[in-house]
């Protein structure tokens, strides 16, 4: 859960991104040319459909997109579709953990052993030597459970309910991963463990805590924890993976195993609202937000904090976000400036697309939005 093309697909561009909505008519100085340029560019990245949400001081928040939300029916993207956001969930999980740190209920330097005694205790791995900070920053040295042979055929488990504890145990049977000089090794196992710790401390699952601490206070009416629900709330962004050279619909999927590492479903508008609130201090006290944004080099040459990725799409301008992808094909990309003033969120309905072009579009929007 971190971050496939078909034949010719009719593409539609929604008008809401480039036509000022009624609530934003006062922002007469909004220049929609960067948005129009981005929409045109996104037509050529190879994805059937992309939901696009942008935010800027002059233009406000605008939702729209390109292409089809459903290839079978020909339903065009309108901008309000629900989609799996994959590993972007990690930022939401990290926010909950850091709120508990601010409340004095958890310390980042506490060990896994303190909360889950005996769970991580093998010849290779010792929970007495792994801290919560290391889980959130992927420096624990634990492997990714998705490397277990069980997941060689992910579709074989498409309908299965799988507890996060099971994924942790799968990981503990694997050899240690390769690590960067900073100690970084991305592993979904880290976040499923963090979710188990949240449950131990609060008595509630990580999904319930995200709902109580983030979704409800921010009024995110279109974001939810699916549990064993295999469908996505309508309007949905269908998702496609390539099989034998053809894109096939794999939208329906039980993603319970993703848990704290990648289970959330949201919209572009709600995800943008979350990231704006996070960057502007509405969810974390200054001390905890500072800890979240303290980065180390990751395996992609970017900076990784506590559940957040730091990018420089535009030289000299730091942006934050967290990419995401799912076995169903759903892909998530976003970037928000350090001050929360400008943001770009993309929900993509496949993992078969030109990632370089998408990143270029995000960079141009962050640079040019006003």
Would you name the residues annotated as active-site residues? 87
Three-class HEC string of 256-312: CCCHHHHCCEECHHHHHHHHHHHHCCCCCCHHHHHHHCCCEECCCCCEECCCCEEEE
Half-sphere exposure at residue 141, Cβ-oriented, CA atoms within 13 angstroms: 13
Residue 179 to residue 275: CA distance in whole angstroms: 28
Positive or negative torsion for Cα 124, 325, 160, 156:
negative
Q: Is 62 helix (H, G, I), strand (E, B) or coil?
A: strand
Q: Residue 52 forms beta bridges with which residues? A: 64, 346
Residue 222 to residue 269: CA distance in whole angstroms: 9
DSSP, res 121: B
Q: Residue 344 forms beta bridges with which residues? A: 54, 335
Which of left, alpha, beta for 219 (phi over 0: left; psi -120 to 50: alpha)?
A: left
Q: How far is CA 257 from the centre of its chain?
A: 15
Residue 29 to residue 8: CA distance in whole angstroms: 37
Residue 62 to residue 19: CA distance in whole angstroms: 9
Segment (H or E) for 76:
strand 75-76
3-state helix, strand, coil in the chain (%, to 5): 35, 20, 45
């Amino acid at each position: 859960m971190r971050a496939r093309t078909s034949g010719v697909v009719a593409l539609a561009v929604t008008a809401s991104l480039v036509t000022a909505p009624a609530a934003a008519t006062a922002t007469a100085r909004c220049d929609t040319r960067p948005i129009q340029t981005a929409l045109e560019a996104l037509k050529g990245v190879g994805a059937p459909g992309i939901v696009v949400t942008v935010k800027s001081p002059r233009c406000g928040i605008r939702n729209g997109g390109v292409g089809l939300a459903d290839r079978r029916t020909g339903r065009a993207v309108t901008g309000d579709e629900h989609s799996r956001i994959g590993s972007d969930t990690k930022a939401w999980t990290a926010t909950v953990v850091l709120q508990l740190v601010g409340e004095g209920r958890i310390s980042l330097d506490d060990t896994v052993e303190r909360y889950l005694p005996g769970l991580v205790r093998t010849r290779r791995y010792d929970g007495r030597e792994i801290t919560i900070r290391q889980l959130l920053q992927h420096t624990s040295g634990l492997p990714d459970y998705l490397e277990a042979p069980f997941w060689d055929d992910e579709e074989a488990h498409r309908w299965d309910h799988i507890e996060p504890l099971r994924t942790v145990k799968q990981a503990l049977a694997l050899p240690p991963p390769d690590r960067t000089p900073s100690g970084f090794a991305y592993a979904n196992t880290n976040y499923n463990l963090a979710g188990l710790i949240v449950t131990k401390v609060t008595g509630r699952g990580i999904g319930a805590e995200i709902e109580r601490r983030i979704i409800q206070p921010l009024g995110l009416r279109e974001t939810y924890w699916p549990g064993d629900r295999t469908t996505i709330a309508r309007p949905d962004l269908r998702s496609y993976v390539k099989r034998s050279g053809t894109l096939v619909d794999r939208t329906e999927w039980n993603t319970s195993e993703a848990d704290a590492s990648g289970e959330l479903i949201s919209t572009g508008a709600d995800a943008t609202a979350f990231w704006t609130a996070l960057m502007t201090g509405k969810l974390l006290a200054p001390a905890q937000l500072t800890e979240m944004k303290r980065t180390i080099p990751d395996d992609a040459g970017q900076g990784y904090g506590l559940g957040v990725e730091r990018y420089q799409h535009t030289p000299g301008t730091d942006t934050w976000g967290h990419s995401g992808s799912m076995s169903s094909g759903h892909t998530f990309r976003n970037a928000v400036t350090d001050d929360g003033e400008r943001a770009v969120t993309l929900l993509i309905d496949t993992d078969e697309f030109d990632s370089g072009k998408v990143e270029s579009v995000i960079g141009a929007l962050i640079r040019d939005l006003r």
